[in-house]
Each structure stands twice: as structure tokens, then as C-alpha cells.
Structure 1
Amino acid sequence: MKKLLPIIAITLLSVSACSGQSAPVKPGIYRAVLKTRGGELPFGLDIQQTAGDAKTYAVFVLNGTERLPMDPATVQNDSLHIPMALFESELVAKIDGNRLRGVWRRRRTAQQSQTMPFEAQHGLTYRFVADEKSTPVNLTGKWATDFGSKSGKVDTVNAVGVFDQKGNHLSGTFLTPTGDYRYLDGNVVGDSLFLSCFDGSHVYLFKARYNSADKTLTGGQWAGVSGYDSWVARFDPKADLPDPAKLTYLKTGSKTLNFSFPEPNGKTVSITDPRFKNKVTVVQIMGSWCPNCMDETNFLSPWYKLNKKRGVEVVGLAFERSPEMAESGPKIDRMKQRFHIDYPIVLAGTNDKVQASKALPDLNAVVAFPTTIFIDKKGQVRHIHTGFSGPGTGKYYDQYVEEFNRLVDKLLAE
């Protein structure tokens, strides 16, 4: 995952509510914005009334081609509440005709929350600009990127931008050694790039200016409530990242991944359990709070249903914000329900990478959530893949799925 943002306690903004009849929400597409320090961060909302229930709505967040379902939304007095329980966040807004006005807030601890002003207008579908004016700049391709550049040049390639531009519409993402930035969507206006993403957890706004003389982009990234980083990118069709199979590895002398952790129901799961004997086992190091883990789980859950009869098993090792089962157990259960997960997910510890590494002493380090470990029929670790290229990365996701299946097929054939 990307580097953690500073957690800031902010007094919760309240959304006004009055007694009496609930205000109706006009169904349809909304152009939503969060008011960030870098300016407006736009995204789409599709709000549809649930059949037979005037106070409940199905809501999808729209980022490019992604339609991300939120939890069922409800009207309470004059306000619409759109929860995303998986990420402990919600949009709460007063209904005002064709507009919604309120806040996005995300719980960080029992005493701390992050909040940001939120607005949405019905009937608007554009991202940053309403017109489709042509632009002389085309940013399609791969970009060697340096987040946090101190010199204003690409000194270190710590990400690769992959963009696709049609007219003035721009989509794509950034690949990093530990995961991707999911679905980014936006526009090119004149010589400037604008991209954004909101998924209930990720809150990203990117801006940059293109220099045609040296084919570089120079700009800033605003993340969450207070995060900011400068970035520079250079057009480079050959831009690449370190091998994800070489970042996390077994320590000298270790051959397997020893673990024994509890499920929310109290049952202890160990790699030595009979269910894993003589099976190819995929171990998912993950967390319910992690959007990239959500993308991987969205792949693994149906994959397991299709393949478990072939002699494969999957187990998730969840590293949560709290080590207490009373707090983290329900989050694991919510994730299992949301993605219809049939394989066990255990509480392995906290999502601090140092602590996660201590919980799995056979590994040199846990450097990313998710990390995927492949164990053969003899119980020996054969491959470790750091990070996950999700569906927002396009062909890189397709390549990952192909390599995943090829590796499992090879281990099953042994």
C-alpha cells in the first residue's frame, strides 16, 4: 500500500436534521465533489431507490469504468446517509432539491475521525470540465514517476503512470511496488492534467502541467484530509518497477510459512491443519481496511469457488487496525459477507508493517498489503508476490491473473 497519511483529529461537522417527513432523494447520476486543500475532488454517484422502500437507496460510486457499490443508503429526516462500513466511512448530506450538501467522514480511532465537505448535483456527468474541447496534448502511455521528488526531476522511479487519453478525457492509474492507485479518472485541460479517485477510503486528487520540451509532467498529489506530495513524471514507454517477487522472501533456513491465528468465531487456523495437507495453498496477507486488498479479494473469492475442487485452498491473514477480536472480528465478518468469501480469514495482528513482520517471522519483512504467498502440496513456499495490480490497471491486471493461474496450474501438476 501507499505510505500512511497523518491522522488528524477533527471536530465532526454535523448535518442538520429536522423532525417530520423524510425528504425524497431524486434518483439518477450526480456529480459529487469533496472540498480538499488542493481544490475540488470530483467523482460520480449513481443513486437509485430500492424497490418497495421509499427510504432506502442503492448507491454506486463512479470512477471511470468502476461502479463500486456502497452499503444501502437511508434517508433520516432531511438527510441521506451513504455508508461504506468496510472502510468505516460515510457520506452524510442534507437533501436540497437537486443537490446534496454535507460531509464525508471516516473513523480513524474511537476518538478520532477525519471529515471533508461534500456536495453533489443531480444530472451532471462530467468530471473536471463540462466541455469536450480538443487539446494538443496527448498523455497516453507509460510515465516513469517520482513521488516526493526534491529536485523537480525524476531521480527515483517509485511509480509508473499508465494513462489512456481520448479527446480531453483521461483515465488510468499509478503502479507502485506495493500496489496501484486503483481507478483514476479526469481530464486534460490545455497543458494540464487533472485526475481523481474516491472509493470510501482512497481520496486522491492529482494535478500536473505538461512540458512538451522534455516530455515531463510536474505537479502535486493531495490525499485524504491533509496529505500532500509533489510528483514528477517522464514519458517512458519502457518504464518499469522492481520485480514484485523479490521484495518479500523467506529467511535463510525457512521453507514454509508457519502461522496459527484465530478466526472471528474463535477457531484457530494453522498451516498444519488437515484442510491444507497435500493441497496447493494461497495465503493472502491483507486487511479489511485496504482497498487494494478489496480488489484482490474480489478476484480470489470467485476464483476459489471455481477451483477448490481441484485441490487448492486459500486463507486470509488479516492485519487490522486493532489487535482486539471484539473490534476487528466484526470487520472481518463484514468483508466475508460483502465478497461472499468461503475460505477462512484470521486475525493475524495489527496493520503496522513492523508488527506484521514479527507475526510472520519466516519472512524477511511484510512490505505491502496485500502480499500473496503460494505454498505447494508439500507445504513449502514456492512464490511470494508483493502488492496487487487491480482491475483499474487494465492489461497489468490481466497479466497478473494469467500468471496467477499459470503458477497454480504448475503447482497442481507436480
Structure 2
Amino acid sequence: MRYISPVAFLIICIAVIGCGRQPVDLQNGIWRGTFQTDSTIEIPFNFEIYDSAGVKQIAFINGKERLNINEVEVRDDSVFFKTPLYETEIRAQLNNDGLEGIWLRKLPNLTQRMPFKATHESDWRFVKEPKPSSADVSGRWSVIFSKANSNDTTLAIGEFEQDSSMVYGTFLTNYGDYRFLSGELDGDVLRLSAYGGMSPSMFMATVDGNVMTGDLYSGPSSHSTWEAERDPDAELADAYSLTKLKEGYNTLSFEFQDTEGNLVSLDDERYQDKVVVLQFLGSWCPNCMDETAYLSSFYKKYRDRGVEVIALAYERYAEIEKAKKAVSNLIDRFDMTYPVLLTGYTNKQVLESLPAMESFNAFPSTIIINKEGEVHSIHTGFNGPATGQAYVDYITQFEQTINELLNE
């Protein structure tokens, strides 16, 4: 056997290590990511990696919105982006070209998956150098979404702003909005997308004057077609007319547990002679997050004036501990200082848990109760910040109603 001196052995070891794979850093800056659907359609989005107090953070960028997430973990060449509210996660491997891995969404009975890739220093979304726009899509559009291979249709309103080829906006429906969308008009092709931790979505359409026709892709497999016509007077159904109590009822009665196991009822002394806002939500619901962000600040402003807020949470899990964990994430995220009650399992149990209600159409929904304990109004859906003036109008009307009831 040939003898190797300790010094020579050390030199060989260093050489071997030096020739091995060099560590790759998760670089700060703007990234361009893509998810691939089951039909191989790529849904792009942008995000920023940055440091906060020496810890890596990620912000999903959609138009005017930055959704900051601090659940970033880097282990060697593996990276994990977690969004606890929606129970989604991106698992990827760092390489010299960027990131490559998979997006996961955990549901009670299955786990959805989509391939994921991302490249650094890429602030463009769909097309790096789009062709000059052949139209201007700014303004209000009347829209019909049609579910693929189904007779299901949904009426909507498209609201867009265009700056050269860049386009921002959203779609409003009777049950909520599609939140912040951003993209561009490439010649006569409109492309918009969004990712904020829930299912990624992408809208594509060909623009022909005052008409658009296209496709909507959401998550791994959801596909709809859509048609739009420019209509500055487009309107949706009155959001206060969609959800009602049964005939002969003007009050609600319930008793549910909060996250600490305490029973809460409208008959409690805390709610007597108060204006009470009931918020129907689920931690899985993006529009509910927008409403929660607003109501959290609203409550801090109005609670000393005689207003109480109660959130009725309907989670995806029938198991109480799993539901409690999901709700606790929600409370922490939005610093909720009003009670969140564990009331049921998805929207199928809303009518079972509240027998006085004749119908229930969407999360979120909001009920305002006057100081006498009577239901004053029920609002279906929520126009979030992405809807612009619609959001301002709703908040203005909501707070005007609260002030009127306080002054009765």
C-alpha cells in the first residue's frame, strides 16, 4: 500500500471539496416565476427577495400590491416559501439558472401540485419586449365567464388601467373580486395574472375594438372562457339583495366557541345595546383576507363608540384542532382583536348553523345588527382594494350606515 502523508491527504481533501458543487445564494431583487398547469400553460408572476433584520423575506408583486411573507427557509441549495394562511408552499432547488421545483396546496382530501421555475433579475411578466399596443382597454367592461365543459356562467365587470403596454385591474363579481391583476397588452393580446399565495390565475384575451374574447386559467386544472364588451354603465346585482333571512325572522341566535374554547353568543352582555357586525369568513378565502384587513382597523376605530365585530369562521376542516390552527394563523396575520368563532365546516354548514337564514351565497358576507338586536342589512361579497372606486364607495356606505345606527 502506498503511504500518503497527513499533509498530502489534507491537500487532496481540500482539492476534492473545492471541485465540488459551489453553494448558490438566494439573491435579493426582483424575480420572475412561472407555474405550469396540467395543460402545460405557464402562469407567470413576479416576486422580490429581500432581507429584513438579517432574515430572508419574500413579497409577491401584483400591480400595486406587495404581499409580504416571512416564511422563507433556505437549507443548503433548497428553498421553501410558505403561505400559512392558504396552506400553500413552494419547494425549490437553487441552481445557477435560478429556482426550480414545485408548488403545493394542501386540501383536506388531496394535495394539488404545479411545476415551478424562477429566474433572477427579471422584472418583466409575460413578454420582455411587448409589441406596441393596438388598443386601449382602460375603463369598464361587461364580462361573462363560462366554465369549460359546463353550462355554468358568471357575470362580472372588468375594470382596467393602461399605461403604454402595461395593464392593471381586476374583475368584480356578485361574490367578490379577483384581486390585483397585472400584465400587458402585447399588440392585440391582453394577458393578466396574479399570485398571492392562493391559486395562481391568468387571463388571456384577444382585443378587437370594444370586444374581448379569451381564457381564464386558475390553479392546476381550472379553465373557463370569457367574453367582454366595453360598457361604462355595466352594473352587478345589488349586493344587499342576494342573502336573506327566512320570512318572519329579523334576528339571529347562535352560540359558538372562540379559539380559547369560550362560548360566545349575541345574548352576551358585551353585545347588548351595541351595533354588531357579523363577518362570515374562511381562512382559505382571499376576499375574506381583504375584508379582515379592513375590519381589523375599523374595529379599533369604532369599538369605543359602541360597535362590536364577531367573525364566524367556516373552515375546510371538520377536525376542531386543524380549524383552530388555520384561524389562529389568520388572527396573527391581521392582528384581529375581535372574537373569531369556530362555527362550521365550509359553506355547506352555514344554513345548518344559522337556521334563521334562508340563503347563503358567498364568503365573505357581512350582517349588520342594530342596537335592538335586529338584522339591519346583509351584504354579499366584498369589493377589495383592487376594485378602486368600488372599494371606496363600499367603505363609505358601510361606515355611514354604522354611524346612523349609532345615532339612533
User: Which TM-score applies when normalising by structure 2?
Assistant: 0.91
RMSD: 2.0
Query: 1:135: Cα distance to partner?
Result: 1.2
Structure 2 residue matching 1:304: 3-state secondary structure: helix
Residues 1:228 and 2:223 aligned together: yes
Q: Pick one of 349, 355, 358 that aligns with 1:355.
A: 349
List gaps (5 residues or longer) in structure 1. Answer: 1-18
Q: Pick one of 213, 219, 244 that aligns with 1:218.
A: 213
Cα distance in 2 for residues equivalent to 1:411 and 1:203: 40
Q: Pick one of 192, 195, 217 that aligns with 2:192.
A: 195
Q: Pick one of 145, 148, 152 that aligns with 1:147.
A: 145
Residues 1:119 and 2:121 aligned together: no
* Partner residue, 1:408: 402
Higher Cα Rg: structure 1 or 2?
2
* Partner residue, 1:332: 327
Query: 1:39: Cα distance to partner?
Result: 2.2
List gaps (5 residues or longer) in structure 2. Answer: 1-19
Cα distance in 1 for residues equivalent to 2:89 and 2:121: 22
Residues 1:28 and 2:32 aligned together: no
Structure 2 residue matching 1:308: 3-state secondary structure: helix
Aligned partners of 2:170 and 2:178 also within 8 Å: yes
Number of residue equivalences = 386
* Partner residue, 2:126: 128
* Partner residue, 1:97: 96
C-alpha offsets along residues 88-121 of structure 1, whole Å, 9 cap, x if unaligned? 0011111113511111111012x52111111111
Q: List aligned pairs for 1:284-323, cutoff 5 A.
A: 284-323=279-318
Moved over 4 A (4+): 19-23
Query: 1:22: Cα distance to partner?
Result: 6.8
Structure 1 residue matching 2:401: 3-state secondary structure: helix
Cα distance in 2 for residues equivalent to 1:71 and 1:295: 19
C-alpha offsets along residues 282-335 of structure 1, whole Å, 9 cap, x if unaligned? 000000111100010011101111211011000000000112211100111111
Query: 1:202: Cα distance to partner?
Result: 3.2
Aligned partners of 1:354 and 1:366 also within 8 Å: no
User: Which TM-score applies when normalising by structure 1?
Assistant: 0.89
Cα distance in 1 for residues equivalent to 2:292 and 2:198: 16
* Equivalent position amino acid for 1:185 in 2: S
Cα distance in 2 for residues equivalent to 1:294 and 1:21: 41
Cα distance in 1 for residues equivalent to 2:40 and 2:98: 23
* Partner residue, 2:358: 364
Structure 2 residue matching 1:148: 3-state secondary structure: strand
Query: 1:156: Cα distance to partner?
Result: 7.1
| Change in 2 beyond 3 A, CA 1:174/1:140 | same
* Partner residue, 1:10: none
Q: List aligned pairs for 1:255-266, cutoff 5 A.
A: 255-266=250-261
* Equivalent position amino acid for 2:290 in 1: D
Cα distance in 2 for residues equivalent to 1:125 and 1:148: 32
